[in-house]
Amino acid sequence: MQILNTVSDLRAVVKAWRKAGDTIAFVPTMGNLHAGHIDLVNKAKASADRVVVSIFVNPTQFGVGEDFLTYPRTEQADQEQLLGVGTDALFLPAVTDIFSSDAATAITVSGISERYCGAFRPGHFSGVATVVCKLFNIVQPDKALFGLKDFQQLTVIKTMVRDLNIPVDIIPVETVREDSGLALSSRNGYLSVAEKQVAPELNRVLRVAKDAILAGQLSIAEIEQQALATLEKFGFKSDYFSVCRSQDLTAATLEDKEIVILAAAKLGKTRLIDNIYFSKGV
C-alpha cells in the first residue's frame, strides 16, 4: 500500500494507473476506521482495479463547539486495517494540502443541505460538498463509495455530482450494524457503557415507524410524534425524526411510495444519526 501525503504524489500514481488502463474506486473517510469503512473498501476492490482511500478530518464540516479537535484520530491502526484488506493507496494529506489559506470557493447544494442535519449544523453540508468535490478532482476516480447511514449526505453528494457533471459513479453501500442494530459510527466510541445499551433503540423506533407507515392507520404526523415521544422516554434528545420522500428528502405523505425515515438524536453528549428506507410497492 502506497501512503501519499501530497496532491502531486497522488496524481502521479493515479496517472500511472490510468496509463496502464486501470479503473479506480475511491473511499473518502475521516479515519478512525471501523467495519463499515472496511466493507466500503472491500466493495471498492470488487468494483475496480485500484482502490484509493483518503483519511482527512475536514475542518470545514465542523461547526462552532463541535468535536473537530477531539475527533478520534487513529492513523496507525487505520493504516494496518487498510493494508490488511489490500488497499492500493492511502491519501493522507494535511489541511494545508487541501485548503489554501486564502481559499475563496465553497460549494453549496441548495435546499437539501438546509434541512434535517443541515438545520442543526449550519454550513456542515457545504463543508462536505466542497471537500468531496476537491477530493474527486484530486483522485479523479471512476467510482466512489459511500455508506447509506448518512442518507442526507449521500443525497447531497449525488446531487452535486449530477449538477456539476462530475464524471464519477456514486455507489451507495448498506449500513453495517452491530448485532443490536446500532449503526457503526466513529462517534460510537463517545458512548458510555450504559448509553451503548440504550443507543440501539434509535434503530428500533425507526423500524416501528416503518411498520406503522405500511399499516396506514396513522398519519405521518402521528407516527413522527409517537417516535419522538418514545425516544424521549429512553433519554434521547431528538433533533428530528422525519418521514421523507427518498427521491428529494421533502416531507412524505401516505400516498408516496419511496420513503426514507431520517432521525438524529443526542444520547448524552453523543449525536447519533440513522435512517430506514423502503418502498411501499404498487
Q: Catalogue the active-site residues.
A: 37
Which single residue is written with the C-alpha cell 408516496? 256
- Helices 201-215 and 220-233: crossing angle, nearest 10°? 160
* 3-class DSSP state of 71: coil
* 3-class DSSP state of 269: coil
Q: What does the alpha-carbon distance between residue 229 and residue 44 come to, in Å, rounded to a whole number?
A: 40
CA distances 175 to 12, 147, 185, 227, Å, are 33, 6, 10, 21
Cell numbers that stand for 48 in this block: 475496480
Contact 268, 238 (CB under 8 A): no
36 CA to centre of own chain: 11
Q: Which neighbouring-strand residues pair with 264?
A: 240, 273
- The alpha carbons of the chain give a radius of gyration, in whole angstroms, of 19
- What letters, b where the CB count within 10 A reaches 16 and e where it falls short, cover 42-67? bbbbeebebbbbbbbbbebbbeeeee
Q: What does the alpha-carbon distance between residue 214 and residue 243 come to, in Å, rounded to a whole number?
A: 12
Cell numbers that stand for 119 in this block: 438545520
